[in-house]
Structure 1
Amino acid sequence: MKESSDGFVRADQIDLKSLDDQLDRHFNRAWTMEKKREVGTKEERVSREEWEIDPTKLVIKTVIARGTFGTVHRGIYDGHDVAVKLLDWGEEGHRTESELTSLRSAFIQEVAVWHKLDHPNVTKFIGAAMGTSELKIQTDNGHLGMPSNVCCVVVEYLPGGALKSYLIKNRRKKLAFKVVVQLALDLARGLSYLHAEKIVHRDVKTENMLLDKTRTVKIADFGVARVEAQNPNDMTGETGTLGYMAPEVLNGNPYNRKCDVYSFGICLWEIYCCDMPYPDLTFSEVTSAVVRQNLRPEIPRCCPSALANVMKRCWDANPDKRPEMDEVVSMIEALTHRGEEA
């Protein structure tokens, strides 16, 4: 095929068969390249953990809570209201490689526990991202980039806030007995589900329980949760929050899921009384009194005996004498059937 001096090609000199061959080769190359891109994308998807989110779809907004290990923000993910737990591992170079490995391991452990759970009394897990600089915080002046050592857990947003805050608001007037039973039953059912899944929460407290818009309790914060060990000796150490920790945990002894049952007993007392356990004792005094003197919160005389019995059974010093959480659920359900009033 020849061009004229002005750059045009005469129609009668076009080799149509040659042009068809060229087009076939071009389309075959394009098809092959597209297939390679599809395979590459598929491989990327396979290599990405099933719990990983797309950070570009996440908008992080205002802080709604602060804790020892990070902050919790409101946010939007893929058009939905969410809560975003941000964990900051510090600026690059400020931690040793072994420290970062330990932090990553702990983060993956939390996510591995949470993303498999599905229960109406457990906060719904949406996804997570680990160590990415693609996370952005929305501000009045635009978006603020995050350091690459920040990771996040994204869960459903629960507008009712922490159960502890709700109890503090009702400290003076207390709660109606039917509300006490409803809150306790929600928490008991959530813990019963976790234990059926062989998960020990290890930090059961009202601060780690959230409320949705209908006042349903949902268990949150699986930062120290773990799969229950076959050998109790594999689970030791002071893990949890003082005031809610079982004697065996405070004492550094081996423990199992029954440590959650003890903590539930303290939460049940707190829900009924709308008060804090041991408000006048120091950390060391609580530890000593709970372990050595069998100290427990004082149950008010007005508390129905059946409810007081649940508390006492749950916080028994002997873990083997504490009920399983499914039995606790049955005991609290019985209270609703009997219609006891405070």
Structure 2
Amino acid sequence: MKEAGDGGGGGGGTGFVRADQIDLKAIDEQLERFSRVTTLEKSRSIPASGAAAVDVAPKGFGLIPPRRERKEWEIDASKLTIKSVIARGTFGTVHRGIYDGQDVAVKLLDWGEEGHRTEAELASLRSAFAQEVAVWHKLNHPNVTKFIGATMGSSGLLIQTDSGPIDMPKNVCCVVVEYLPGGTLKSYLIKNRRRKLAFKVVHQLALDLARGLSYLHSQKIVHRDVKTENMLLDKTRTVKIADFGVARVEASNPNDMTGETGTLGYMAPEVLNGNPYNRKCDVYSFGICLWEIYCCDMPYPDLSFSEMTSAVVRQNLRPEMPRCCPNSLANVMKRCWDANPDKRPEMDEVVSMIEAIDTSKGGGMIPVDQSQGCLCFRKRRGP
């Protein structure tokens, strides 16, 4: 199944899998069209007589469907305890939880109340989601959030509250991943906005993110929503990429991946402009994230979304580079956010560039034990 308007991307993007947030919004729009075709095709293949339809089934089965085998990525709902909410989004909630004795984060996504979707729509949603989690299930890298399992439409999900357990609708989809106590990279940077980060910390965070993206690209996955809010920190401050959503369809046409997908401020010009794009859109977003990690600030604080979009595409606007930023790091940013995707480096090259940066002299940044931020930052944004 191939989603209209999406696929592999521009030059060099063939064979890549789409991946962004697990919100199923894009899937819904496509599947509403797809389900009508599927329903029509099924209706043509069903015999006119109900008795004839039963006769073609294997003897001994009758009307009882065979028992469905559990997929390798499916969890046992009886081993899952869902606790308090730790985050809320447009399409679901994230809870703390325990699965088989392990601390986990549980994302609950409601596919709609019973009766609000046709059986064909629900079947298509299950099929698309199954393909998505099957891809995520196979990812294994220290800088990618560990996927533990998922379940679709389970009737055994309970949320523990102060007043007792609450049953969940059977159409709720459940995604279980490792729990990372450090929160989002975005929150960590906000906490350090005034003081800024030591250069060695900047280097470590940047290298973690670059290695994670390089791994995804090696697995032919384009994240498409790379931003500090989608990066999580473990207890040792290791960065792990999170929020994969549409990792299910391999591209067949390199010019099919179009349309605005991602988050303004991080989106590459070709994405903002509705042009074909490929994995190099992630490289652009990484460049913005790298600036954000160094500055602990927002890239375009005084621009509206429309002003930002126009300036990035038509005026080649990029975040202002602090004077104290080491040339070695600034060069990585500038190469990554080049307006021409073909001139941006591959992520494995970005990893090598960051690994080669000398952090022994602080790189122009403040030392770990200094309490005041760099003066050029303070002049830029004020106290």
1:312 maps to 2:334: yes
Percent of pairs with identical residues: 86
Distance in 2 of aligned mates of 1:124 and 1:247: 31
Aligned length: 299
1:229 maps to 2:251: yes
Equivalence map 1:101-250=2 (5 Å): 101=123, 103-225=125-247, 229-250=251-272
Task: Confirm or deny: 8 A CA contact 1:270 1:276 kept in the other structure.
Answer: yes
Task: Confirm or deny: 8 A CA contact 2:158 2:166 kept in the other structure.
Answer: yes
**Residues 132 and 226 (structure 1 numbering): CA distance in 2 closer, same or farther, change over 3 Å?**
closer
Task: Confirm or deny: 8 A CA contact 1:92 1:149 kept in the other structure.
Answer: yes
Task: Confirm or deny: 8 A CA contact 2:128 2:248 kept in the other structure.
Answer: no
Distance in 2 of aligned mates of 1:178 and 1:337: 6
Counterpart of 2:285 in structure 1 is: 263
Cα deviations by residue, 1:133-184 (Å, 9 ceiling, x for unpaired):
2111011122110001101110100000000000000001000010000000
**Residues 51 and 263 (structure 1 numbering): CA distance in 2 closer, same or farther, change over 3 Å?**
same
Distance in 1 of aligned mates of 2:316 and 2:125: 36
Distance in 1 of aligned mates of 2:196 and 2:126: 42
Which amino acid in 1 is paired with 2:351?
V
Task: Confirm or deny: 8 A CA contact 2:181 2:234 kept in the other structure.
Answer: yes
1:48 maps to 2:90: no
Task: Specify the structure having the higher radius of gyration (Cα).
Answer: 1
Counterpart of 2:314 in structure 1 is: 292
1:96 shift after superposition: 4.3
Distance in 2 of aligned mates of 1:309 and 1:105: 44
What is the CA RMSD across the aligned residues, in angstroms? 1.8
Task: Confirm or deny: 8 A CA contact 2:199 2:359 kept in the other structure.
Answer: no
Distance in 2 of aligned mates of 1:224 and 1:299: 34
Distance in 1 of aligned mates of 2:306 and 2:130: 33
Counterpart of 1:67 in structure 2 is: 89
Aligned to 1:65, what secondary structure does the other structure show? strand
Which amino acid in 1 is paired with 2:75?
I
Distance in 2 of aligned mates of 1:317 and 1:338: 32
Distance in 1 of aligned mates of 2:340 and 2:276: 12
Counterpart of 1:335 in structure 2 is: 357
Distance in 2 of aligned mates of 1:112 and 1:278: 37
Task: Confirm or deny: 8 A CA contact 1:129 1:152 kept in the other structure.
Answer: yes
Distance in 1 of aligned mates of 2:187 and 2:161: 27
Cα deviations by residue, 1:102-158 (Å, 9 ceiling, x for unpaired):
543443343122101000000011000011121110111221100011011101000
Which amino acid in 1 is paired with 2:283?
V
Distance in 2 of aligned mates of 1:282 and 1:103: 35
Aligned to 2:289, what secondary structure does the other structure show? helix
- TM-score under structure 2 length normalisation: 0.75
Which amino acid in 2 is paired with 1:163?
L
- TM-score under structure 1 length normalisation: 0.83
Q: Which one has a larger percent helix, Structure 1 or Structure 2?
A: 1
**Structure with larger RCO (C-alpha < 8 A, sep 6+):** 2
**Residues 232 and 331 (structure 1 numbering): CA distance in 2 closer, same or farther, change over 3 Å?**
same
1:229 shift after superposition: 2.5
Unpaired segments of 5 or more residues in structure 2? 1-65, 366-383
**Residues 74 and 175 (structure 1 numbering): CA distance in 2 closer, same or farther, change over 3 Å?**
same
Distance in 2 of aligned mates of 1:105 and 1:239: 22
Task: Confirm or deny: 8 A CA contact 1:113 1:222 kept in the other structure.
Answer: no
1:224 shift after superposition: 3.9
Cα deviations by residue, 1:197-233 (Å, 9 ceiling, x for unpaired):
1111111000000000000000000024456635321
Distance in 1 of aligned mates of 2:73 and 2:114: 25
Aligned to 2:298, what secondary structure does the other structure show? coil
Aligned to 1:190, what secondary structure does the other structure show? helix
Which amino acid in 1 is paired with 2:135?
V
Cα deviations by residue, 1:67-89 (Å, 9 ceiling, x for unpaired):
12211110000011000011112
**Larger deviation, residues 324-333 vs 285-294:** 285-294
**Residues 101 and 290 (structure 1 numbering): CA distance in 2 closer, same or farther, change over 3 Å?**
farther
1:239 shift after superposition: 1.0
1:283 maps to 2:319: no
